Amino acid sequence: MNRVAFLGPHGTFTEQAVWAFELDDVALVPVDSPSAALHAVRAGEVDWAVVAIENSVDGAVTSTSDALIEAGGVQIYGETELEIAFAIMTRPGEELADARSFATHPVGYQQVKKWLADNAPHARFHAAASNAAAAELVAEGEVDAAAAPRRAADLFGLQVHADGVADMQAARTRFVLAGPSGVPAPRTGNDRTFVVFQLPNEPGTLVGALQEFAYRGVDLSRIESRPTKAERNTYNFFVDLVGHIDDAPLAEALRSLYLRASSITFLGSWPRAHEPAGEPGVDEARLRAAEEWVASARKGT
pLDDT-based confidence at residue 275 (cuts at 50, 70, 90): low
One domain, residues 242 and 175: no
Query: Which residue, among 80, 88, 77, 82, has the nearest Cα to 57 in the 3D structure?
Result: 82
The confidence score (pLDDT) of residue 54 equals: 92
One domain, residues 40 and 69: yes
The string of pLDDT tens digits covering residues 220-232 is 999 999 988 877 8
The string of pLDDT tens digits covering residues 191-215 is 999 999 999 988 999 999 999 999 9
One domain, residues 151 and 50: no
One domain, residues 282 and 160: no
The confidence score (pLDDT) of residue 281 equals: 55
Query: Which residue, among 20, 29, 19, 24, has the nearest Cα to 49 in the 3D structure?
Result: 29
One domain, residues 10 and 112: no
One domain, residues 63 and 176: yes
pLDDT at 56 over 90: no
Mean pLDDT (the chain) is 92
The confidence score (pLDDT) of residue 279 equals: 53
Residue type, 258: Y
- Cβ-based neighbours of 192, under 8 Å, separated by 6 or more: 79, 221, 240, 241, 242, 243, 269, 270, 271, 272
One domain, residues 208 and 291: yes
The confidence score (pLDDT) of residue 289 equals: 82
One domain, residues 4 and 51: yes
One domain, residues 175 and 47: yes
Of 151, 180, 209, the position where a domain reaches its end is 180
Q: Any bridge partners for residue 194, and if so which?
A: 240
The confidence score (pLDDT) of residue 19 equals: 96
Mean pLDDT, rounded, for 265-283 = 76
Radius of gyration of the chain (CA): 22
Q: What's the number of domains the chain is made of?
A: 3
Mean pLDDT, rounded, for 132-147 = 96
Range of the domain at 288: 183-301
The string of pLDDT tens digits covering residues 3-22 is 999 999 999 999 999 999 99
Of 148, 180, 212, the position where a domain reaches its end is 180
One domain, residues 273 and 192: yes
Mean pLDDT, rounded, for 270-289 = 71
The CATH number of residue 156's host domain is: 3.40.190.10
One domain, residues 155 and 238: no
pLDDT-based confidence at residue 169 (cuts at 50, 70, 90): confident
The CATH number of residue 243's host domain is: 3.30.70.260
Burial (0-12, 13-18, 19+ Cβ within 10 Å), 247: buried
Sign of CA dihedral 165, 110, 107, 170: positive
One domain, residues 275 and 240: yes
pLDDT at 237 over 80: yes
pLDDT at 280 over 60: no
Rounded to whole angstroms, how far apart are CA atoms 200 and 205?
7
pLDDT at 36 over 80: yes
For every residue of the chain, DSSP letters joined together read -EEEEEESSTTSHHHHHHHHT--SSEEEEEESSHHHHHHHHHTTS-SEEEEEEEETTTEE-HHHHHHHHHH-SEEEEEEEEEE--EEEEESTT--GGG--EEEE-HHHHHHHHHHHHHH-TTPEEEE-SSHHHHHHHHHTTSSSEEEE-HHHHHHHT-EEEEEEE-SSTT-EEEEEEEEES-SPPPP-SSEEEEEEEE--SSTTHHHHHHHHHHHTTPPEEEEEEEE-SSSTT-EEEEEEEES-TTSHHHHHHHHHHHHH-SEEEEEEEEE-S---TT-----HHHHHHHHHHHHHHHHT-
Of 154, 180, 206, the position where a domain reaches its end is 180
